[in-house]
Amino acid sequence: MSDDILAVDRLMMRFGGIVAVNSLSFTAERRKITALIGPNGAGKTTVFNCITGFYRPSGGAIRLTHDDGRNIQLERLGDFRISKYAKVARTFQNIRLFPGMTALENLMVAQHNALMRASGLTFLGLIGVPSWREAEQRAIDLARTWLDRVGLLPRADDAAGNLPYGDQRRLEIARAMCTEPALLCLDEPAAGLNARESGGLNELLLSIREDGTSILLIEHDMSVVMEISDHVVVMDYGVKIAEGTPQAVRDDPKVIAAYLGADEEEAIAVMESGT
Ligand SMILES: Nc1ncnc2c1ncn2[C@@H]1O[C@H](COP(=O)(O)OP(=O)(O)OP(=O)(O)O)[C@@H](O)[C@H]1O
């Protein structure tokens, strides 16, 4: 029996005359890592933007199923509700931290919803009732736990903007995890990382999966995709051209042709990875 957390069904996204996503269907299994790959402009980020509510799809359905069997149609919700009720978190292709805030503060902001509830929309927080103080302590503990897991606890009080690039990327993942998501969507988390850093990223993502969070990943770094994905969906020109295990997809002539048509270096990376 399938245990899918996400089911994308005939998703369409048009921008004027451009069809960025054309009747795309795929599923992502619970507690697995599903990668969405494809050459530049294939439509991957547009799919993410539809799943996370940044775009309202032109057509199709996106169903999220929680552990308790509850279904949520994401295409009907805005981004705030998708994060709050559907428990879908995301990171972006370009880092979007609050650079002037400390690493710890960035993770506290991510817990704003829970803290606002506990503070009785600020009033209880102002008078310092015990339930507010407990909630604040829980938020600090969760933030510190995630700083520790991404190796940034010693830099908790440093401004996020002063951290090295690779640290900022991990901090973004920690911030997304502080919302305690059911589905974590990562848009090119390995972009700009060196080989050692992307090895560390692989370990982090595998440990997040082991803890029970499902992951949807857009990634151009084929060493990451091939090493950690359970399932790979390949897009080109807005449509799905292949899906399967990393090895099956890597050997698929349609996939190789799509990458060759787009960028020779990427095609070679696909063909050589994992060999
Ligand atoms: N807001 C928008 N308005 C108009 N066209 C858009 C918009 N967003 C994306 N597109 C177009 O949709 C297509 C798919 O873009 P998208 O960014 O989803 O591809 P991608 O696979 O994520 O590419 P990359 O790997 O380069 O990030 C492209 O032709 C792009 O120009």
| DSSP H stretches of helix in 211-275 | 222-228, 246-250, 253-262, 264-272
Closest CA to 167 of 155, 180, 181, 183: 155
Q: Which domain holds residue 119?
A: 98-180
pLDDT of 106: 94
> What is the side-by-side strand order in the sheet with 59-65?
18-29, 4-15, 59-65, 71-73
Q: Which residues pair with 90 in a beta bridge?
A: 185
Q: Which two tokens stand for residue 211?
A: 């803890």
Instruction: State the closest ligand 1 atom to the C-alpha of 46, by its place in the atom list counted from 1.
Output: 18
Mutate to test the pocket of ligand 1, among 8, 13, 14, 18 (most ligand atoms within 8 A of CB): 18
pLDDT of residue 275: 47
Query: Which residue lies with its CA nearest to atom 9 of ligand 1?
Result: 46
Distance CA 216, CA 35 (A): 6
1 and 106 assigned to the same domain: no
In a domain, 93, yes or no: no
pLDDT score recorded for residue 95: 79
Is 67 part of a structural domain of the chain? yes
* Exposed/middle/buried for residue 160 (C-beta within 10 Å: 0-12, 13-18, 19+): buried
> What was the pLDDT predicted at 64?
96
Question: How confident is the prediction along the chain (275 residues), in pLDDT tens digits per residue?
Answer: 569 999 999 999 999 999 999 999 999 999 999 999 999 999 999 999 999 999 999 999 999 999 999 999 999 887 777 777 889 999 988 878 899 999 999 999 878 766 666 555 555 555 566 666 787 888 899 999 999 999 999 999 999 999 999 999 999 999 999 999 999 999 999 999 999 999 999 999 999 999 999 999 999 888 899 999 999 999 999 999 999 999 999 989 999 888 876 555 566 666 666 54
Own/partner contacts of 250-253, CB < 8 Å, gap of 24 or more, are 250/222, 250/226, 250/274
End-of-domain residue from the set 162, 180, 198: 180
**pLDDT for the residue 43:** 97
Rounded to an integer, what distance in angstroms lies between the CA atom of residue 163 and that of residue 151?
Answer: 12
Q: 164 and 56: one domain?
A: no
User: Which among 141, 163, 180 is the end of a domain?
Assistant: 180
Ligand 1 closest atom vs CA 47: 18
Residues contacting ligand 1 via CB (< 6 Å): 15, 18, 20, 38, 40-46
Residue 92, domain member (yes or no): no
State which ligand 1 atom lies nearest to the alpha carbon of 13. 12
Give the domain-ending residue among 180, 202, 230: 180
User: Does 256 share its domain with 152?
Assistant: no
Q: Model ipTM? A: 0.96
Domain-located, residue 12: yes
The answer on 266 and 187 residing in a single domain is: yes
Residues 81 and 109 in one domain: no
The DSSP-derived string for 110-153 is: TTHHHHHHHTTTTHHHHHT-HHHHHHHHHHHHHHHHHHHHTT-G
Same-domain pairing of 190 and 216: yes
Question: Residue 128 has what pLDDT?
Answer: 61
Confidence (pLDDT) at 22: 97
Which residue has the least CA distance to atom 23 on ligand 1? Answer: 41
